[in-house]
Amino acid sequence: METRYNPRQIETEVQSLWQQTNALKVTEDPDKEKFYCLCMFPYPSGKLHMGHVRNYTIGDVISRYQRMHGKNVLQPMGWDAFGLPAENAAMSNNVPPSRWTLDNIAYMKKQLLALGFAIDWDRELATCLPDYYKWNQWLFLRMLEKGLAYQTTGTVNWDPIDQTVLANEQVIDGRGWRTGAVVEKREIPMYYLRITAYADELLDCLDKLPGWPERVRTMQANWIGRSTGVEIGFPVVGRDTILKVFTTRADTLMGATYVAVAAEHPLAKQAAERQPALAAFIEECRQGAVMEADLATQEKKGMDTGLFVHHPLTGEKLPVWVANYVLMAYGEGAVMAVPAHDQRDFEFALRYKLPIKTVIRPVTGELLEPLTEAWTEYGITIHSGEFNGLDFAGAVEAIATALAQKQLGKKRTQYRLRDWGISRQRYWGCPIPLIHCEHCGVVPVPDTQLPVKLPEDLVPDGSGNPLAKNPAFYQCTCPKCGKPARRETDTMDTFVDSSWYYLRFCNKDQDAGMVDARSKYWMPVDQYIGGIEHAILHLLYSRFWTKVMRDIGLINIDEPFSNLLTQGMVLNEIFFRKADTGRIQYFNPAEVEIKRDEAGQRIGAVLKADGTAIESGGIGTMSKSKNNGVDPQSLIDSYGADTARLFMMFTSPPEQTLEWSDSGVEGAYRFLKRLWKFATDTIDMGKAPALDKTTLTEEQRAARRKIHETIAKVDDDLGRRFTFNTAIAAVMELINTLTRLDGTSTNNHAILHEGLEITLLLLCPIVPHITQNLWQAIGHEGLIMDAHWPTSDEEALKRNEIELIIQVNGKLRGKINVAVDADEATIKSLAMANDNVVRYLENNTVKKVIVVPGRLVNIVI
């Protein structure tokens, strides 16, 4: 038997064995229980990063575990291949995005193969290929027919110098990333998908997803943000219009002292026509990006429009202000302001000296006036005339009724969720299949002309969409009237591509339809695994898209993902340098050297190449844009795939964030070497004898108990808890126990052999190469992945004695061994007789004794 562990040779051999035996090919088998295990597919950014390795190792462990439990397991892989980075790479390298993307795919596929994932590569797909994105276009047209897709205007970031739309990521501190120009908001026509039509179902179905983490369901529920409240009309003074607002706090209506509208609100625009100062303020509000985080943290500013509205119940005149904290996208783009009971209104009122009127008091006690901050809790109405003395629900009901009588209000449900804008003024995406005809208007491309193919040889230059400058693409004829027309040059959001790829894996070779009967066999996905950063958008869009496909009759499921595992991010330090132009250049941690003082305290960081100082931007998710990824290739090259896999699984549990550090890899490698030595030592002892259960020593019984406890522990950790780190720790403990047995007796030899065989089976999902190799070495034919998962022997698990903890007043004071079936009285008297315990009981009376069976005795004095 080879004495040295040689991962490179073993891994190559085992991988070619899988290939020769076609072990990873999966077909639909109605007689077998299916298990669809899916990891979020990667964006082909260039090479794998640690997040990918973590994600796909988790998926592979689960897939192989389920396969060993007899399931027909599908684990596919594909490429989320459209997107912005390809355009950026194209600009800097002068290579078309398609070339760059396909090269990256080829390289990353090699890396995935080297890691030994049990993927059925026959099902590989890439979203940038026409046979995939054709069906984006096809379904978009179906949604258009059903009124689920529509056109309206949307607000985008506009770079006034490059004359181009910017992604949020391309806006840095309110300025364009390439030009440094202050970004403006601009309204442009866009296509939307009516996800709000499914808001109730998307919310209600969250309760039917017990296999999803609670936190993800909570985040989605809050994102959808269903609230019930009252829509209130404020008649505009001197005009025949009503200003509508929505509020969840109608109980505070009598405390409204002004009304605030968003800068984009029609009333603000009208008022600005005769007031240059107001027009200038509205223009100022147009400066800056559209991101909500920016809007919500900016300084609260406003200006009086000079207009007034009547309070709908009292008729009192209230001023109308334009305020930058009111979002046009939520509700009506206008709010009634109640400074006493809303913190933002309170701050705004203080700043602009607007009145503050308290109309709610706590159920018990009084508010101390003047207020130093808004009191936002529910309470009892005061200073509210006929509505005084009501609780929250009573006040809302009474006020809503009063408003309804005047036809100035009604109860209504409001969602925070907005429709999904899918238009992108970008080249590297799926073309929206529409044609603009002077005579016929917007005309859908007929199904027979799909796909609308994206030209693959363009190189963007940063100033607008290259498709819009490419006559070969946009010149076309109208399908209705046959006259010359212009093709839509916007492409689709890449979230469209990723909203249904899991369906296409089931039947990717089907060219007559988007899906076929095979998706009925595989769907829904039994286990979906991906980064927590996708908890809202991608997962919500996929759920929506699934429901649309169901309603079109393509599939018969309500939800795409039965169980969800959200892995934490892999984080690493970010290093950067800011150029004089304000442009930020990021450096990979591998290029950086940390400087320390004599005590080992960190004092700074320099670039290895030239020794110049470099700034740290803290730690953040490993990303292409921050250039802080660690290349897993070096890990694979020096230690092999099994070490890389073991290390990733052992370092931290999957749902937690993982801060990268190079230490620990050696430990994983050392463990595999110990496993190798344990196996070769056991094999060298020769053929294993049969175990004689009648003559076992206490030590041998303990060793066998450890073996069979470990089976149960690892089964639970891999299959239910997904705590791969504790599963590995349990196997390490087992090997520690077994290697302390010396093999000279027949029974010890038998136990070592049994322990080795079970160790290999338990570790097989995590380190499939070394376990396959050793499986054959101990005399088995064929694939360990097709061997059945071991079951623990009840007989071996039995114990005669257990250890109990003795506490005095909750503090540990001793330990006793008792028979498993000892009664409470026996346990109590043994506990009280314990030497150390007796010292504490002297001169004290025992108040009570708590016995927790199987665990402890607590004596209270």
Partner RNA sequence: GCCGGGAUGGCGGAACUGGUAGACGCGCCAGACUCAAAAUCUGGUUCAGGCAACUGAGUGGGGGUUCGAUUCCCUUUCCCGGCACCA
In angstroms, the CA 8 to CA 643 distance is 11
Amino acid letter, residue 356: I
- Give Cα separations from 161 to 167, 178, 183, 604 (angstroms): 15, 10, 9, 37
Residues 6+ apart with CB under 8 A from 753: 682, 688, 778
CB 646 within 8 A of CB 766: yes
Least distance from RNA to the Cβ atom of residue 373, Å: 11
Residue 403's Cβ-count burial label (10 Å; 0-12, 13-18, 19+) is: buried
Element (H, E) at 52: helix 50-68
Cβ neighbours of residue 244 under 8 Å, at least 6 residues apart? 231, 232, 233, 234, 332, 334
Nearer to RNA, 161 or 852 (CB): 852
- Smallest gap from residue 692 Cβ to RNA (A): 27
Q: Shortest approach of RNA to residue 793 CB, angstroms?
A: 19
Distance between CA 80 and CA 45 in Å, rounded? 10
Residue 441 CB, shortest distance to RNA, in Å, is 22
Smallest gap from residue 153 Cβ to RNA (A): 11
Q: Minimum Å distance from CB 455 to RNA?
A: 18
Closer to RNA at the Cβ: 631 or 659? 659
- Of 217 and 311, which CB lies nearer to RNA in the complex structure? 217
Residues 329 and 331: their CA atoms lie apart, in Å, by 7
Q: Choose between 423 and 747: whose C-beta lies nearer to RNA.
A: 423
Question: What token pair was written down for 831?
Answer: 């506990």
Query: 514 with 138: CB under 8 angstroms?
Result: yes
Q: Which is nearer to RNA, 400 or 718 (CB)?
A: 718
C-alpha distances (whole Å) from 289 to each of 155, 283, 354, 436 are: 10, 13, 29, 30
Three-class SS state of 686: coil
Residue 384 vs 494, nearer CB to RNA:
494
Residue 661 CB, shortest distance to RNA, in Å, is: 6
| Cβ 234 to RNA shortest distance, Å | 24
Q: How far separated are the first and last CA of the chain, in Å rounded?
A: 63
- In the bound complex, what is the minimum distance in angstroms from residue 838's beta carbon to RNA? 11
Task: Give the nearer residue to RNA in terms of CB position, either 224 or 764.
Answer: 224
- Taking the complex as a whole, the smallest distance from the CB of residue 157 to RNA amounts, in Å, to 6
Question: CB-wise, 101 or 773, nearer to RNA?
Answer: 101
User: Nearest Cα to 168, choosing from 293, 80, 290?
Assistant: 290
User: Cβ 6 to RNA, closest distance in Å?
Assistant: 14
**Minimum distance, C-beta of residue 160 to RNA, in the bound complex (Å):** 16
If the CB atoms of residues 387 and 671 are measured against RNA, the closer one turns out to be 671
Helix H or strand E segment including 746: helix 746-763
Tokens of 206: 């969250």
631 phi, psi to nearest 5 deg:
-80, 115
Residue 309 or 648 having the CB closest to RNA: 648
Q: Assign residue 553 a region: left if phi > 0, alpha if psi is -120 to 50, beta otherwise?
A: left
The residue type of 517 is A
C-alpha separations of 726 from 137, 270, 595, 634, 714 in Å:
46, 65, 35, 26, 8
**Residue number with CB closer to RNA (252 or 623):** 623
In angstroms, the CA 233 to CA 253 distance is 12
CB 499, min distance to RNA, A? 12
Contacts made by residues 612-618, CB under 8 angstroms, sequence distance 24+: 614/575, 614/576, 614/577, 614/587, 615/575, 615/576, 615/577, 615/578, 616/573, 616/574, 616/575, 617/573, 617/574, 617/575, 617/576, 618/573, 618/574
Nearer of residues 218 and 556 to RNA, judged by Cβ: 218
Residue 128 or 261 having the CB closest to RNA: 128
Are 435 and 443 in contact, with CB atoms under 8 Å apart? yes
